[in-house]
């Protein structure tokens, strides 16, 4: 292993120096696949470092697939297999937009494209230090319980904290009424598995959340679209649809609705609940943008007190999407059934993620971080709305907060045309059809206000007037 050079002045640790250089030598073919690696003892002697350091480096190379450990024979080079990426993956303009395309765009948008309608926030808008401090706190307080299964309902202290946060919204819930989930998506999936069956009909926002539509189709559940208005669902039409279809449930995003940014008015929330009682359907209230709304407005669950409403929340929008921690609150018996389904599907959630979220929320920085984000988004919303109207676009509504604005060009009947033209300009603007359950064409499209002041986007939108 004379090809590996160890330097005490390097910015990398000794272990990292060995791992990085060995991976490069193997990738370049300098060290042949299948050859036997120098023993730990000989490597340590030749480089005058400890055998423990070499052993740790070798184990990391095994973990990365560059070494194989064979009992009583030592370590052997094993170059990892690299598979070619599918030709359509990550090419924003190469695939016809649908629900999965929109979901995939969250992960594969090319770095040379401006994700103007993405759900992601710009990196400098996120408080990475909040996660870092939470991880440090978690590491300092780690105990043997982290090596065991957690509570199927979720980390008890976090559920207790959620109990207090729900109370601030006027929602009274006991710990047994709160179930932690792997994000809001798992919460909705558990409800479908537990309380719906193939062929059931459910009311949904139109436009609405693209991944919800994919999940409903996957379960064979039929969505009945209810047009969204600036003050919530069209309740007159909902009344007629409920009378005709007798839905089992409604999935609705009450506050800072994606993609329109609208919020349900208190009077409409009350009437919606009355219609649910009249036609005997349950409501799943998605409130994942709760912390982005600075106002304490009554939710549907506030009026219902979790009798027929499931209330769903998440921390992926304001803390970190990587932690995948959400929750669902409802009647104790129903939440117990959801917990049973969760155990069958995934046993428990991630104790590490749940504890990380708890520490991040209780270390005192989260509230200030969210306040800064709300202030920044409020300014961006105002600027984005003004800019769009000056450019001749129609804005669906002026949201109370959040990161989305829903707009249309008065002379373009199908926003897919905007998507195609934007793609040619290196900008990703999702056509509005991906937010509709049957991918029906629409002139409307979504923008993330955090990107609306980008000169490239402003120039592109201005060019549409020509």
Residue 224 belongs to domain with CATH number: 3.40.640.10
Instruction: Give 49-64 pLDDT, tens digit per residue.
Output: 999 999 999 998 988 8
How many separate domains does the chain show? 3
Alpha-carbon gap, residue 33 to 42, rounded angstroms = 20
Q: What is the CATH number of the domain that holds 432?
A: 3.90.1150.10
* pLDDT of 82: 56
Write down the pLDDT at residue 84: 44
Residue appearing with tokens 């926002």: 205
Which pLDDT band, with edges at 50, 70 and 90, does 301 fall under?
very high
What is the mean pLDDT of the segment spanning 146-173? 92
Among 299, 333, 362, the domain-final residue is 362
pTM for the model: 0.82
Q: What is the CATH number of the domain that holds 54?
A: 1.10.10.10
Q: Are residues 250 and 384 in the same domain?
A: no
pLDDT, the chain, mean: 90
Q: Residue 149 and residue 321: Cα distance in Å, rounded?
A: 23
Query: Quick one: pLDDT at residue 197?
Result: 96
d(CA 159, CA 161) in angstroms, rounded, equals 5
Contact 182, 350 (CB under 8 A): yes
Name the residue among 267, 336, 262, 269 with its Cα closest to residue 302. 269
Of residues 168, 166, 401, the one with CA closest to residue 292? 401
Higher pLDDT, 145 or 70: 70
Q: How do residues 386-418 score in pLDDT, each as one tens digit? A: 999 999 999 999 999 999 999 999 999 999 999
Co-location of 262 and 396 in the same domain: no
Q: Is the pLDDT of residue 424 over 80?
A: yes
Q: Which of 31-35, 82-86, 276-280, 377-381 has the lowest mean pLDDT?
A: 82-86
- Higher pLDDT residue, 124 or 85? 124
Measured between alpha carbons, how far apart are the two ends of the chain, in Å? 65
pLDDT at 6 over 60: yes
Is the residue at 7 inside a domain? no
What is the structure's pLDDT at 393? 96
Mean of pLDDT values over 337-344: 96
Whats the size of the chain, residue-wise? 466
Residue from 372, 195, 381 nearest 282 by CA: 195
Assess whether 293 and 321 both reside in one domain. yes
Residues in a beta bridge with 447: 405
* pLDDT tens, residue by residue, 371-388: 999 999 999 999 999 999
Could you read off the pLDDT of 235-258 as tens digits, one per residue? Answer: 999 999 999 999 999 999 999 999
Strand duo 114-115 + 427-428: pairing: parallel
Same domain, 284 and 250: yes
Distance between CA atoms of residues 171 and 306, nearest Å: 8
pLDDT bin (cut points 50, 70, 90) of residue 87 is: very low
Please state the separation of Cα 262 from the chain's center in Å: 20
- Same domain for 157 and 237, yes or no, is yes
- What pLDDT is recorded for position 86? 45
pLDDT at 88 over 50: no
- Residue 286 phi/psi, 5° resolution? -90, 120
Domain assignment present for residue 1? The answer is no
C-alpha span between 403 and 111 (Å, rounded): 21
Residues 155 and 241 grouped into a single domain: yes
Higher pLDDT, 346 or 172: 172
Q: Are residues 148 and 160 in the same domain?
A: yes
| CB distance 226 to 260 below 8 Å | no
Same domain as 455, residue 375: yes
Inform me whether the pLDDT recorded for 140 exceeds 90: no
Last residue of a domain, one of 362, 379, 411: 362
Does the residue 89 lie in any domain?
A: no
**Cα–Cα dist 466/450, whole Å:** 25
The verdict on whether omega for the bond into residue 207 sits within 30 degrees of 0, i.e. cis, is yes
**DSSP β-bridge partners for residue 225:** 204
pLDDT for residue 151 is more than 50: yes
Higher pLDDT, 106 or 293: 293
Q: Which residue has the higher pLDDT, 460 or 466?
A: 460
Least trusted range by pLDDT, from 110-119, 241-250, 279-288, 325-334: 110-119
142 in the same domain as 283: yes
pLDDT band at 316 (very low <50, low <70, confident <90, very high): confident
Question: Residue 45 is part of which domain span?
Answer: 14-77
Determine what percent of the chain is predicted with pLDDT higher than 90.
67
Q: Please state, for a pLDDT cut of 70, what percent of the chain lies above it.
A: 93
Nearest CA-CA partner of 135 in 290, 356, 323, 304? 356
Q: Determine the Cα–Cα distance for residues 336 and 342; give it in Å rounded to an integer.
A: 10
Judge if 136 and 268 occupy the same domain.
yes
**Are 299 and 236 in a shared domain?**
yes
DSSP string, 186-241: HHHHHHHHHH--TT-EEEEEES--HHHHHHHHHTTPEEEEEEEETTEE-HHHHHHH
Q: How many CA atoms lie within 13 A of 345 on its CB side?
A: 16
Question: Cβ distance 66 to 77 under 8 Å?
Answer: yes
Is residue 295 domain-shared with residue 439, that is, in the same domain?
A: no
Q: Is residue 243 part of a domain?
A: yes
Is 454 inside any structural domain?
Answer: yes
**Residue 82: inside a domain:** no
> Does residue 91 have a pLDDT over 50?
no
CB 341 within 8 A of CB 347: no
User: Is position 83 within any domain?
Assistant: no
Q: Does residue 6 belong to any structural domain of this protein?
A: no
Among 327, 362, 397, the domain boundary falls at: 362
């Amino acid at each position: 292993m004379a090809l590996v050079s160890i330097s005490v002045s390097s910015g990398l640790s000794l272990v990292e120096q060995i791992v990085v250089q060995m991976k490069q030598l193997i990738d370049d073919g300098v060290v042949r696949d299948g050859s036997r690696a120098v023993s730990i003892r000989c490597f340590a002697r030749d480089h005058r470092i400890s055998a423990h350091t070499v052993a740790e480096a070798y184990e990391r190379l095994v973990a990365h697939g560059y070494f194989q450990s064979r009992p009583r024979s030592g370590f052997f080079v094993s170059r990892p297999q690299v598979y070619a990426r599918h030709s359509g993956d990550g090419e924003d303009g190469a695939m016809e937009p649908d629900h999965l395309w929109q979901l995939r765009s969250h992960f594969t948008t090319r770095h040379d494209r401006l994700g103007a309608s993405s759900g992601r926030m710009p990196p400098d808008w996120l408080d990475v230090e909040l996660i870092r401090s939470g991880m440090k706190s978690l590491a300092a307080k780690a105990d043997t319980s982290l090596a065991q299964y957690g509570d199927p309902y979720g980390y008890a202290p976090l559920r207790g904290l959620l109990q207090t946060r729900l109370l601030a919204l006027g929602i009274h819930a006991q710990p047994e009424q709160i179930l932690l989930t792997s994000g809001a998506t798992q919460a909705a999936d558990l409800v479908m598995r537990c309380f719906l069956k193939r062929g059931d009909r459910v009311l949904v926002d139109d436009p609405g959340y693209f991944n919800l539509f994919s999940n409903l189709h996957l379960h064979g559940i039929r969505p009945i679209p209810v047009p969204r208005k600036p003050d919530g669902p069209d309740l007159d039409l909902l009344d007629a649809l409920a009378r005709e279809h007798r839905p089992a449930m409604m999935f609705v995003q009450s506050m800072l609705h994606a993609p329109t940014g609208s919020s349900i008015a208190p009077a409409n929330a009350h009437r919606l609940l009355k219609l649910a009682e009249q036609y005997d359907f349950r409501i799943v209230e998605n409130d994942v943008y709760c912390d982005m709304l600075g106002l304490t407005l009554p939710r549907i669950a506030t009026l219902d007190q979790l009798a027929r409403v499931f209330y769903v929340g998440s921390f992926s929008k304001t803390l970190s999407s990587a932690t995948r921690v959400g929750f669902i609150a409802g009647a104790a018996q129903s939440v117990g059934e959801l917990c049973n389904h969760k155990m069958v599907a995934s046993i428990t959630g991630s104790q590490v993620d749940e504890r990380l979220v708890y520490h991040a929320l209780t270390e005192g920085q989260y509230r200030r971080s969210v306040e800064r984000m709300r202030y920044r988004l409020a300014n961006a919303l105002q600027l984005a709305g003004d800019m769009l109207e000056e450019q001749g676009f129609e804005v669906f509504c002026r949201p109370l907060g959040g990161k989305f604005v829903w707009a249309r060009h008065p002379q373009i009947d199908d926003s897919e045309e905007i998507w195609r033209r934007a793609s040619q300009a290196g900008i990703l603007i999702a056509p509005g059809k991906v937010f509709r359950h049957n991918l029906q064409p629409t002139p409307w499209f979504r923008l993330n206000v955090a990107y609306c002041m980008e000169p490239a986007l402003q120039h592109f939108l201005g060019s549409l007037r020509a």
